[in-house]
Amino acid sequence: MNFQPRPDEVRFLLQTVLGATPRLRALAPFAEFDGELQAQVLDEAGKFVAEVIAPINRSGDEEGCRFADGEVLTPPGFRAAYQALSEGGWLALSAAPEDGGQGLPAVLEAVLFEWLSAANHGLTMAPGLLHGAYECLRHHGSEELKQRYLSKIASGEWLATMCLTEAHAGSDLGQVRTRAVPQGDGSHRVSGGKIFISGGEHDLTENIVHLVLCRLPDAPAGPKGLSLVLVPKRLPDGTRNAVHCERIEEKMGLHGSPTCVMRFDEATGWLIGEPNRGLAAMFVMMNAARLHVALQGIGLLDAAWQKAAAYAQERRQMRAPGPAPASRGSEAADLIAEHPAIRRILDTQRAWVDGARLVAYRTALQLDIARHDGDAKARERAQRWCALVTPVLKAACTQQAFHGASECLQVFGGHGYVREWGIEQVLRDARVTMIYEGTNEIQAIDLLVRKVLPDGGAGMSALLLELRDELDAARDIEADVQRRLAQLRYLGTTVVMAAAADAALPYEVADDYLRVVMLAMLAWAWARIERAAPGEPRWSQPVAAFRRWVLPEFEMRLGIVKRACEAVTLTRPAA
């Protein structure tokens, strides 16, 4: 089965649980935004995704992209679907009206991209970095560059890439060697090789705008000597620029998206932002891009869950233990959905999808607040949320996409391993999300070493207090979550102390710390959902699975981090 968006469930999370509508209306650009408009956009988006995007997912994987003579052919149907996506205005959903956008909240765009990824991860890669490129250019581009490229990128009429990685420079961008030499006329000549460039070449749009991380002559070594240069495939006069795709990678999955090896041979480009401030210009879009990867993870897990849930309601094998289920009838075997092992898989993955969604949508809402709130303190709080929660979501949701999709595959037995059922594609596609936009190990280090420790844990502590205050201590379940949030605050102090004694320690426990934060946030999310829909089986079944099988990892990880810290603080003197 193809992925089917559920706008009703998203509306429940956004409106009923998060109260998004009044919060958005308090922001100047969205003063007119109401529940009805939101419902309309979500319903239309859901229909579009189901009818245009989802049906070409399997064929996109089977056919894949083809490379010949420097040209890349995307799978049959991709070009038409992409054009419908762009021409329908879907890519400009949250772009500013002055750039031809619809000026809708980022949170709606987040939902759309979650669904697009769930329906067709390969195709969705094409516009995946578009919004980031738009923001980057909008904030750092010269007037001339904006004039020439901004509205084309906002609408998706031209696609964009981020050219960062080189063969020897992956996580370590400081080692980038691609050179940009100023020509005196304001342009630069860019030379070098880049790898892992998603959509570096394709037949979806007439022009492709590359944002290339490179080094000016005499730039300082390391990450502080990097500049960002815009290099279009076609120059303003229509001629072909000296940027070429040398080959596309054969990958484990994501065959609908060409991963290109790119060659720049004195290609013409223009600087975006200040010289040697390329990383800063790029980081504008980092949080939004990483949140989108987290949403890919959530979407892919939901797609896997939908397939498995449907199969479990058709396939019969053996008698289920315990009292006869209503679905038994005269059949010799019960639906596998009635077997505890299958029920557990389905409810547990559902708990991940719903809980992670609530955290992700709230994060997208914070992006809107960070951009548009009139109150500087509110903007700062929202930025803090995005900085701290985004790496957590990116790592945890992509890990769960892969591992949870594998659980869903297990529901199919041997059929799950066979391509025709489509579930194995989800695993293969999802695997890359644990790597790109910063590997999950880098996310954990980003969270703990770069964001929690530098202010002695104060920012994270404030965020945890914010969450605590949204819960009601009079309700047992919410009080339990409050207790966990308090443990997490205390854990922050413990790690800060230990890090002072051993600089390597935080790197060793970063993964566990990130997991424990995610589990606490899921517990917070489910407490909020449960309060909004008490006793409804649609939500009470997953939350029961969450408490039984997911949440116990909280204590386990907490213990791992604590013991590691104690070992350090008890045995080594503070530095």
How many residues of this chain bind its own copies (CB under 8 A)? 72
| Tokens 């009044």, located at residue | 22
Tell the smallest beta-carbon distance from residue 145 to its own copies (Å). 29
418 in contact with its own copies (CB under 8 A): yes
Contacts to its own copies from residues 23-62, by CB under 8 A: none
Contacts to its own copies from residues 145-164, by CB under 8 A: none
Query: Which of 114, 201, 338, 437 does the annotation list as catalytic?
Result: 437
Contacts to its own copies from residues 179-198, by CB under 8 A: 195-196
552 in contact with its own copies (CB under 8 A): yes
Tell the smallest beta-carbon distance from residue 343 to its own copies (Å). 8
570 in contact with its own copies (CB under 8 A): no
User: Of 465 and 574, which has the nearer Cβ to its own copies?
Assistant: 574
Q: State CA 49 to chain mean position distance.
A: 18
The residue from 80, 548, 572, 574 that contacts its own copies (CB under 8 A) is 548
410 in contact with its own copies (CB under 8 A): yes
| Tokens 């449907």, located at residue | 310
User: Near its own copies by CB under 8 A, which window of 8-16, 73-81, 300-308, 441-449?
Assistant: 441-449
H-helix or E-strand spanning residue 559: helix 552-571
| C-alpha angle 226-223-291 in degrees, rounded to nearest 5 | 90
Structure tokens at 572: 């080594």
- Per DSSP, the three-state class of 73 is strand
- Per DSSP, the three-state class of 314 is coil
Number of Cβ within 10 Å of residue 328's Cβ equals 16
| C-alpha angle 426-431-436 in degrees, rounded to nearest 5 | 130
- Site mask for its own copies (CB under 8 A), range 343-362, x = bound: -x------------------
Q: State CA 222 to chain mean position distance.
A: 27
Contacts to its own copies from residues 444-503, by CB under 8 A: 444-445, 502-503
The residue from 29, 100, 103, 170 that contacts its own copies (CB under 8 A) is 170
User: Of 295 and 432, which has the nearer Cβ to its own copies?
Assistant: 432
**Beta carbons within 8 Å of 432's beta carbon, 6+ residues apart:** 251, 252, 253, 254
Tell the smallest beta-carbon distance from residue 256 to its own copies (Å). 14
- Per DSSP, the three-state class of 284 is coil
Distance (Å, rounded) from C-alpha 336 to C-alpha 321?
11
Tell the smallest beta-carbon distance from residue 338 to its own copies (Å). 10
User: Catalytic residue at 437?
Assistant: yes
User: Of 110 and 423, which has the nearer Cβ to its own copies?
Assistant: 423
311 in contact with its own copies (CB under 8 A): no
User: Of 115 and 305, which has the nearer Cβ to its own copies?
Assistant: 305
Q: Where are the alpha helices (DSSP H) in 49-127?
A: 57-63, 78-87, 106-119, 121-125
Tell the smallest beta-carbon distance from residue 195 to its own copies (Å). 8
424 in contact with its own copies (CB under 8 A): yes
H-helix or E-strand spanning residue 264: strand 259-272
Q: Which residues pair with 271 in a beta bridge?
A: 229
313 in contact with its own copies (CB under 8 A): no
413 in contact with its own copies (CB under 8 A): yes
User: Of 48 and 546, which has the nearer Cβ to its own copies?
Assistant: 546
Number of Cβ within 10 Å of residue 404's Cβ equals 28
- Per DSSP, the three-state class of 268 is strand
CA dihedral sign of residues 537, 538, 539, 543 = positive
Q: Residue 523: which of 449, 560, 562, 470 has the closest Cα?
A: 470
The residue from 157, 249, 266, 480 that contacts its own copies (CB under 8 A) is 249
Contacts to its own copies from residues 322-341, by CB under 8 A: 322, 332-333, 339-341
432 in contact with its own copies (CB under 8 A): yes
Tell the smallest beta-carbon distance from residue 170 to its own copies (Å). 5
Contacts to its own copies from residues 254-273, by CB under 8 A: 259
Tell the smallest beta-carbon distance from residue 317 to its own copies (Å). 4
Burial class of residue 395, CB neighbours in 10 A (0-12, 13-18, 19+): buried
- The dihedral region occupied by 451, where left means phi > 0, alpha psi between -120 and 50, and beta the remainder, is alpha
Tell the smallest beta-carbon distance from residue 309 to its own copies (Å). 16
What DSSP designation does 218 have? T
User: Near its own copies by CB under 8 A, which window of 72-80, 243-251, 356-364, 472-480?
Assistant: 243-251
Q: What is the dihedral of CA 143, 160, 385, 32, to 10 degrees?
A: 70
Integer CA distances (angstroms), 63 to 54, 427, 453, in order:
15, 18, 47
The residue from 441, 475, 486, 497 that contacts its own copies (CB under 8 A) is 441
User: Of 108 and 445, which has the nearer Cβ to its own copies?
Assistant: 445
434 in contact with its own copies (CB under 8 A): yes
- Per DSSP, the three-state class of 134 is helix
The residue from 481, 510, 514, 517 that contacts its own copies (CB under 8 A) is 510
User: Near its own copies by CB under 8 A, which window of 2-10, 165-173, 367-375, 376-384?
Assistant: 165-173
The residue from 1, 252, 324, 465 that contacts its own copies (CB under 8 A) is 252
Burial class of residue 112, CB neighbours in 10 A (0-12, 13-18, 19+): buried
- Site mask for its own copies (CB under 8 A), range 81-120, x = bound: ----------------------------------------
Q: Which residues pair with 180 in a beta bridge?
A: 190
Tell the smallest beta-carbon distance from residue 371 to its own copies (Å). 31
User: Of 238 and 322, which has the nearer Cβ to its own copies?
Assistant: 322
Q: Residue 242: which of 184, 332, 180 has the closest Cα?
A: 180
- Catalytic sites, residue numbers: 437
